[in-house]
Each structure stands twice: as structure tokens, then as C-alpha cells.
Structure 1
């Protein structure tokens, strides 16, 4: 059969969920605010059916006030589980499609299909498709109960079609058409007047503050000057030190560019008519789609839109108290500005075959060659005194699986990795002949070389000896993953700081292997305040300071249907959350900077990967969220007095509401 319909009558409710079966081709789920699920009986499907078909699809519709995060969750009989998170727009029928090969766990972010927002995979390293024990459809917690219709739940051998009716979802300015909120721009004329007036005022007020030096550092505390940014511990706390010797706590803004592009492919049924690519608004067409934010700048400033945006944005950042241009910012804006900046390196060294997701074959000569080539991009920057330092990469995908056994993943593969050969040699050094290995592992290998071919782990029971060797070699591989490119980077550019890899989180101390080669350990922190315990632990382990490369807060009262990874009710609450986070961060001795993600709201219909979060300091019409930026000013104006202990940090953290992040 080309398709197989999942038997709707064999679904059962989880706690608190109501299930209705209105017809043969669908059901209605009603879930409480805590979230809910419906589960398919394992015995309801023929044996091996998940391995026989290539795709699982379903049509989803809901009338909620915001994005619905729908989960397809799978578990096999060995207890491994994977959940795929999908973002579904309100009042827009959406066909979800899951390539079942994704259950091998090799991709964290799945390719987008028409009409769907971001698709993210969470859970274990893989699930055995041939031995699925459970499948369920779930929702995450929300501010209110949810009702959703699920229909056409089908397995198929090929990608299904995506028939959609034309349903314009956004207005000509790129705003969500069906929602009203305080601060929504009412017309193109209102937008033009607001932006031109603010730009005019910015020319009259340079936003210069005497207490800060040429490179953004605080003149209230000075150290020895070296001509480049560095770090120093003053006996009580860590600092960045700017090229003039001024202390710097880095308050940065990520993604400083005119606006993100909205992906148009697959979303055409939700988009109003767009201008020609070769016309007046041609600059709004970017490689990844169409940018309403840039189109709005063209409306206001015509051909001079980019220069005037850069002048206005420089003025805004300085008046808000920002002192650093953060990651992924416009090179043109960096050239225009006199603020210090950080550099995101591109092309982290890779190998043709990877051990898991983006973890390369680190003992391969190709990895060493790639690391040397990777570092060369720094040579052109080595004399730039405004450059604080560089991030080698962002959020390694392999590190999203806590407790990941890279050695086991490597040995399951039939690929003869160079790292696999190094593992065999390492075992010989530890255990001598194969009899010694078998005694340590309780295994039944005939020769060491059996480990070079995949599928031989059945001869190696999960014994304490095997587990210890796997864990030790995991640490060796992670250490080499870090230290090889870090060493080449420092050789190419000895003047600037290596700011690390911006880990999403630290799942275990194994992730810290080799990180003493960084000058600063960077981590992204989507919490309401940084973890003092974690920061202190990492700083003591590495004898290095830390910085936070990303944090954000979104609110439910403005013009996007998704609020991000951490959410509050109002823009005033967003401001309080920002102030609480930054002032708490400034009081942590081992932490030397926090960078907010990001300058612009994301597009209503999603950026390239489908994120559409209300997290910006400015909206699609280039208007600042006033309560939010006023709180920024307060936090940045107080942070140095807090850092040296003269002021107490703000402690009035607003109430969190459930996220709509994916």
C-alpha cells in the first residue's frame, strides 16, 4: 500500500485530555493548560509498519490566540524516546509532515514543509523504527486550555501534497492582520512620520556619556592597557578590560541588522501580494525571503534607507546603554559604528562522515586540516582594536543530548572512522591483548579489529568496564574537538579573545573538556536569571570567566503569535524581566557579559527555520517597545555600581507564563 491510515479508534486520552471522534478521518483533542496527549496502542499497528513507510502526516487546525506547539512523540521497547515539536499557526489549517528517518536522531532542526513553523527534535540519540512501542500526539503547557482538530493521520511512502486555500495572514507592513495591540502601527503614513522624526532627533542628540571611554569601557575602574581587549581578575571578580584599560561588563545586542527575512516559499497562501524583486522595494528581497522590516525602512527613507537605519540604530543602542554589538550582526553596521563587537566564525571544521549530528571524526587528518583553514579567517581581524573576540561556533547540535555516548554511537556505525581506529589503539594500550579487554568488559570479542565494523556491540555487554572506557574516550574526543581548532585560532590571532562555542547548556562536565583553551567560556541562558551555581562551577573548573551569548523574553500582549523560550504577559513585564536578568548577572563575580537575543522581532510567518518569536527590542515597523527599552536603560545605568557592590540588584522578577517556543 502507498498509504496507511492510523486507526483513530485505538487512540486513548492522557490525564486531563478529552478526545472526540467526529468522523472517520479525524479527532478533536481538548487539553488542559498543563498540556495533554492522546496515545496510540502499540498493538494497533502491524509489526514493523513504522520502518516500512517513509512519512507520517496529519492535518492540524486550532482557534487559539497564539501558536500551538504540537508534539509527535515516539518510544521504542528499549525505552529510548524522541519527540518532534511543531509550531502551528492559529486559524490556519496546517499539514504536518515528519520524515520517519528523522528518528535516527541525526538532525536537531528538521527541514520545513509548507505552512509549518519550526520543527525541532528532542530526546535520545535515536529510536529504533522497527520496534516502536508508543506513539502519541501531545501539546505543551499554555496559558489556557487548548482545542485542536487532528485529521488525515496517515503513513505514506512519499511526501504528501500540501493543498491550501489563500488566507492572507499579515498586512502590508508585515504585522499580524487579525490582532490589535497597543503600539501597532496603523498605516504606512504613521510609520513614515514616526521613523523620520526619530531619525531627525537622533541627529541632534549624540547619546554620548562621559563616564565611558572610546571602546565602551567604564572609566570608574581602570587596569593596565594592552591595546586590545583582554580579561582580568581584580581579586574579587572578573572583568573584560578594553584597549584603554577601562573595565567593561559587556551588555550586548545580538543580530543587529535592519530586519530578518520572512521565508516566502511554502507560505505563499498566507502572504499578501509582494512587490517585484527589481522594483523600488528590491532591497527587501534577501537570499532567505522577503523582509517587511527593510521594506518599511525604504518607505521611510527611500534610497538612503540603510545609512539612516544605521545612524538611528547606533543612536538607539547608545541611548539604551548598550556597549557591544553582539553575534550575527551586520558587517556594514559594524563598519559604520564605533561600538566594540564580537565576531562569529564561520565554517567550523567538519569531516565527510560525522560520528553523531555535527560531531566530526576528530582524530581524522581532515579535522586537523580543516581547523587550520578555519582559523585563517581571523588573520584579517588580528589588528582590529574594536574587536573583543570571536566565537568559534554556536550551540553544537551533538551537545543537545544529555549524557550522549559518542563512543557507542561511533561503534554502532559501519564507517571506519579514524577516531574508531584510535579507540582500538587506545584500548590496546590500556588492556593489552584482546583477552585483557574481554576480562575488563565481560565481552566475547575474537580480536580488537571486530570493533572497527558496526553491529558488534552485541558481543560487548553493557558492563561497568565497558562503560568506564566509553566514558573516558568520550572525554578524549571532546577534548580534541575543542583544542585542535582553538590552538589554530590562537596561532592565527594572538591578540583577541577566544570566547568559546556558546553552548546551549552544560549537560555534564564532559562538555568542559578542553575548554581551558578558551579565554572566556560562553553559554546561552534562557532562564529568568543566570545560575550562580553553574557559573561558579565552570569558572572554578576552568579558571576562566563566563559570558552569556543569548537570553530573551517575549510577551503575549504584542503582535506575534509566539512568545519565545521565556515569556511574560506584557511589555512592562518584559522590561522587568530584562532588568532583573541583567542586574542579577552584573552581581555575579565570574560573569563578565550578557548579550540579548535579538534587536528585531522575528517575522510573523517565521524566519528561515520557522521561528517567529516576539523577542525584539523593535517590531516589524522598526518601532521600539518603549516599556522594554526604558527598563534596558535603567539596568545598564546601574550595572557597574551593582558590580562593585554599591547597589543591590533588582529582585522584582515578573511572573512567567508558558512559552510558545519550539
Structure 2
């Protein structure tokens, strides 16, 4: 690092540690602003700073108008000129807000990291609040959102109540920055801001600004250079072997494949070289996807022409989405992420993207390509991976008929496709077979029995259930008495596809629970046998449970699974898995966990309309810290690597919770939060470092950390 670097104007997102684009999240004020730290000023030619001021971690600068507010409706930005007078990098946060602003609502933020000795003009765009379209026009299109919020990260520029210049949380206390100028700048025409169109030519939300947003094609090259420089600053965990295992930790037997083992009371995976291994990585490592355009063309401001030579390949057609508006409909779609990747990497973008994905994973603190990932990414054999196994029927709702011979035939045929690929590959950790099957929350997973009762005698499960009941009750009259039913004979029972009138009947519940447990045993035993036929050394990672599952079902899975998978979307995995400590002596893996969508990049919300700026980074750190310490866990997989499109998939999912957005720009706040914990994953798990406190801070540049 050169402490004498003198940087030019920085538009909101530029970072000046070795020219890298960084974010030392959480981006919150280091200390609260006190009343005696407020400076009241009137604009003088839009210059807000009466004299040079010094900002430290304990002394932020808050500029307030002498009157109620400043009217900057004719201005587009606030420019702050600063000089880092200290000998440590300083993360600068600039915020303009309206009266009553809370969190990210009614406020705009910008930040930059200043190298020691650097002078920089940081630009805070004043993003004017658009008109509120209400959520009604979008309710038919989106699956998980219920509200729209146009106030987050926007403001009323005609009524600005204050401007704050501060050092963000995470900056060292000895940091010091001199502020030499703060002024409103740029010209625009006052007036209402229409909401539509709200998607720009790159598929991004129009009405807010964030670090790394793409405004022109040239920005792709800039982002690439910034990321390359940043990766040189943070080189990845220093204690990993080539697999991502703990090279400096205890050594076990090297078998050439992954396996499970217990060490000092905690379950672990062991990598092919015999090093302890904790599987941590994102799902869906691969390329983006198209978003439907038909019927909502007014959402998009600058869709490329279908006849354009380059853009034409990213136009597509679809039909009959699984859910929501496009179910049963034909539609045109456009793949913004593919177009962005070509603009960034050139015509061979797929090959270049794959190489960068693997490089990013290790650099960011990931050692696993998790479920739903691209086969092209897996084929590089540079990062350990898991495989999602899905197959044909027959199915009873959300559960395969494990008693049907077709179940075994279909699953065996699917597994045979892995012969010569993953089945014999040392990079393959194991197979997830199925995903979030519906066992139900009741006794012994009684939803399985309910599903069988909802079918007729064509289903093997219904026939097996009927046979068990015949063996127990003998005559149909005895069953009718116990269940409160009125079947004429066993053939009538077999043909009936409705549940009894009182599903809370104790005898009915007991019989359903007993059958469901027998079904679970048949299902898990069959899957294990078939997995081991094709890959004797490949781990069977379970079916990815979700929600409440009755303990006997988990215990049945433990008889056959090498690792029990559970998609745990709680604040920390222990909220779901602690109940099995000392009860189920088997390793667990969180097949999915995640955070909320990036509120900077989408206006669509669930039940929570607005969150603190650092809510996502805190959630990631809290979850993985807990996962690394949990004695049963051998892995945790983040959903997902890449944001879904702003305007959603055809089925209505529109989740912007990835580590990379649709323009292939990393969410650097998540990346940095991940590094802070994941770089010290093994010392944390082994207990040589406390939760929340790394043995060293990997988000400090190497040059600074060595001083």
C-alpha cells in the first residue's frame, strides 16, 4: 500500500485501498451523534461547511440547517472532500436525511475507504423519492413479497434535515479524517419522479444508488479491476489445504474421499487428504436466468432489441410457469445477467465466469459448491461440491411412493448418470436426494399416511397401508369403529381418497404415525442402498428436511444417512438442531440458510418494510458463527450465490440475497462480513477463538495487519 496515493473524485463507491472496491461492513455510525457535535449552517452557494473539521471514530460531523431544512431539489448530489490524516485505512460514511429518518428510510448513504494520506472527493447522489405505485400491480407476479417501499435509500431533496460525515463501524479508533468541503452540486429539474419504468438497461432498480451499480458498459471493466485488486489484498484463508480442509489441524486417515468422523466431541467431515473439513459454500453457483417481460413491458426502460446481434441470444421464450402470473401462459424473457457477463468478460464469458467463480469462492472464505449449482462449474474440479439428485415418479403430492418398484427404478436410473462423473470423483462430497419432502409436523411424519390415503389402490403405498390395517384390525367393521369411518369393505377403503371425518381421532393418528415411520424406513433404506451401489465412497447427505420434523423420523434417517441435511432458515441453526444434541449421534448439515433481499437494490418487501443498513451482514455473521461452533454440524450452505432478477423468475421468486448481483458485481458488505468469520472457520470450530472474535481480522489489509 502506498500511503501517498492521491485519489481523484470518487462517485460514491470507489475505494482506495490498492484501488480495490471494498466495504468494511457493517456500515453504521461508529458512535451516536451527540447534540454538542452538531453544526448549524446556512447554505452559501450550496457550500455547507463553515470551516475545516476533523472526524474520528468518536467525533462525527453533523451538519444541520439553521432553518427547518435545506431545499436541494435542483441539485443532484452532495460532494464531500476529505483527507485521511491518520496512518490506518478509514471507512467514511456520508448520509443525507429528512426529518424523522430511521435506518435506511428517507435517507441516502455513500461510503468510501480512504488509504492513509489519501485525499478524495466522495459523491453522495441525492436519489429523489419516486411516486408510490402501491403493491397491488405487483401482487400477481411475486411469490414472497407483500409490500413495496419507495422510501428506503431515497429522500425528499426539497427538505433535507441534515448531513452526517462519520467513520463507519469497524474503523480503528486511531483513524482520523479531515473534512475540507461539503457542498450540494449538480443540476436537475424539480418535480415528481414517476415510478415507471423502474428497471434500467442492466436489469437494476432505477430509483436508488449503491456501491458497484453499473451505469455504462465501461463500468464492467472498472469493477473487474477493482475486484482483482481487492482479491490481492485479501488472499483467502491461510490454513486451508487444496480442498478447503484444515491443513494446520489434526490429521486423520487419508482415504482419497470425503468421510465423517468425530473429533473432541464434535462431528466433522474429513477431506481426501485426511484433514478436518467443514463444508461451507453457496448454493446455485452458476449463471443467471431470464426474467419474463410479456405483460409488463412498462417496467423496463431500455430493453435491447430482439434483432440486435449480441442481445438476441439473451431473449428467450417460456411457457407455463409453475406458479403465479405466468402459470399456464406463454411469455418472452430477457436474461440481464447473461448480457452483463458478456459485456464484462467478452464472448467467452462462460469460461471466464467459471474461473472467477472458483477464485471468488476460496477468496471469500467458501470451500463448497453447494446444491443447485451448474454442472459446468462442478466440472472444473477446483472446489469440492455436492450433487442434487432428483428423479421421476410416482409421487404422492410432495413425497415419492417409496413402496413402488418404479421409485427404485427411477432413482437407480438417475444415479446411474453419475457413474464416471461424481460417483468416483474425490471432489464430490456427496448426494442430496430430494428436497424438502413433506413429512408434516405431526406424529412420526403422519402427513405421509395422509398422502397415501389421498390416493387410490394404484399407489403401492396405499396398498401397503391397507395391508397393515387389515393385519391389525381383520374386519373392516373394527377399523370403522376405531377410526369412526363407514367403509363397506376393504376394497372400498382402498378406493376411497378422502381422510376420515375426525383426523384428530387417536386411533387414526396412531395408525398413520406407525405407517409413516415404516414408510420413512423404507424410503431412507432404499435411497442409501442405491446411492452406495453407484458410489460406495460417496456420502448420502439426506433429503434436506425443513420445518418441524418429529424426532422418530429424524432417528430413522440417522440409521441410513451419512449426514442428515436440514434446511434451517432460523436466525441460527441451533434454534432447530439443538434439540438433537445428545439424542441423535449423527452429523447434520444445513442445506440452506439465507438473509433478506438487499434493500438497496429492490423496493419489494415482505412483512418487514425497512431494516437497518447492516441487518444482512449481522445475520450472516451470527448464523455462521453459530454453525461453526455447533457440535453436530459439518456444514452450512448459503442460499444462494447469485441474486435472482429484480423482476423475478417466471414462477414468481424474486430474491436478491446472493453474494453477487445480476450484473456480476459482488455485494461487498456480505463478502467482507463473510471473510471476517470464515477466514477463521477452523480455529472457531476447534474452540481456539471465541464466537464473534476472529483470531485475526482478515478484512484488514495485509500491510496494515503486519504493523
Q: Distance in 2 between matches of 1:246 and 1:426?
A: 48
What's the offset of the Cα at 1:541?
Answer: 4.9
What's the offset of the Cα at 1:233?
Answer: 0.8
2:681 aligned with 1:639: yes
Aligned length: 506
What's the offset of the Cα at 1:319?
Answer: 1.4
Q: Distance in 1 between matches of 2:365 and 2:425?
A: 23
**Normalization by structure 1: what TM-score?**
0.68
1:304-315, aligned counterparts within 5 Å?
304-315=348-359
1:269-288, aligned counterparts within 5 Å?
269-271=298-300, 272-276=302-306, 279-285=309-315
> Which SS does the other structure have where 1:391 is aligned?
strand
Does the Cα contact within 8 Å between 1:230 and 1:497 map onto a contact in 2?
Answer: yes
What's the offset of the Cα at 1:536?
Answer: 4.1
More helix by share: 1
Q: Distance in 1 between matches of 2:496 and 2:456?
A: 4
- Between 1:257-266 and 1:456-465, the stretch displaced more is 456-465
2:244 aligned with 1:216: yes
Which residue of structure 2 aligns with residue 192 of structure 1? 221
What's the offset of the Cα at 1:182?
Answer: 4.4
Q: Which has the higher contact order (CA 8 A, sep 6+)?
A: 2
2:614 aligned with 1:577: no
Q: Distance in 1 between matches of 2:592 and 2:680?
A: 21
What's the offset of the Cα at 1:201?
Answer: 7.4
1:397-408, aligned counterparts within 5 Å?
397=438, 399=440, 405-408=447-450
> Which SS does the other structure have where 2:642 is aligned?
coil
> Which SS does the other structure have where 1:297 is aligned?
helix
What's the offset of the Cα at 1:528?
Answer: 1.7
Does the Cα contact within 8 Å between 2:437 and 2:545 map onto a contact in 1?
Answer: yes
Match of 2:586 among 544, 549, 552: 544
Does the Cα contact within 8 Å between 1:240 and 1:247 map onto a contact in 2?
Answer: yes
For the aligned residues, what is the CA RMSD?
Answer: 3.6
Does the Cα contact within 8 Å between 2:503 and 2:509 map onto a contact in 1?
Answer: no
Q: Distance in 2 between matches of 1:234 and 1:286?
A: 51
The structure-2 alpha-carbon separation of the partners of 1:633 and 1:364, relative to structure 1 and needing over 3 Å to count, comes to same
What's the offset of the Cα at 1:512?
Answer: 2.5
Which residue of structure 2 aligns with residue 55 of structure 1? none
Q: Distance in 2 between matches of 1:455 and 1:627?
A: 52
Give a deviation string over 1:262-285, Cα, whole Å, max 9, x none. 233444342332343772235534
1:107-506, aligned counterparts within 5 Å?
116-118=141-143, 167-196=196-225, 198-199=227-228, 207=235, 209-219=237-247, 220-271=249-300, 272-276=302-306, 279-285=309-315, 289-347=333-391, 349-351=392-394, 354-355=395-396, 357-380=397-420, 381-397=422-438, 399=440, 405-414=447-456, 416-438=458-480, 440-441=482-483, 444-454=486-496, 463-506=505-548
The structure-2 alpha-carbon separation of the partners of 1:565 and 1:275, relative to structure 1 and needing over 3 Å to count, comes to farther
Give a deviation string over 1:438-458, Cα, whole Å, max 9, x none. 554455544333311216766
**Normalization by structure 2: what TM-score?**
0.64
The structure-2 alpha-carbon separation of the partners of 1:279 and 1:375, relative to structure 1 and needing over 3 Å to count, comes to same
Q: Distance in 2 between matches of 1:489 and 1:611?
A: 31
- Between 1:622-631 and 1:538-547, the stretch displaced more is 538-547
Does the Cα contact within 8 Å between 1:223 and 1:247 map onto a contact in 2?
Answer: yes
Q: Distance in 2 between matches of 1:372 and 1:383?
A: 16
Give a deviation string over 1:533-564, Cα, whole Å, max 9, x none. x4244465543200111111135541112467
Structure 2 gap segments, 5+ residues each: 1-103, 106-130, 153-193, 319-332, 695-707
- Between 1:564-573 and 1:511-520, the stretch displaced more is 564-573
Structure 1 gap segments, 5+ residues each: 1-64, 67-88, 98-114, 121-138, 146-164, 653-662
What's the offset of the Cα at 1:382?
Answer: 1.8
Which residue of structure 2 aligns with residue 531 of structure 1? 574
What's the offset of the Cα at 1:566?
Answer: 9.1
Report which of the two structures shows the higher radius of gyration computed on alpha carbons: 2
1:645-656, aligned counterparts within 5 Å?
645-650=687-692
2:660 aligned with 1:618: yes
The structure-2 alpha-carbon separation of the partners of 1:91 and 1:522, relative to structure 1 and needing over 3 Å to count, comes to same
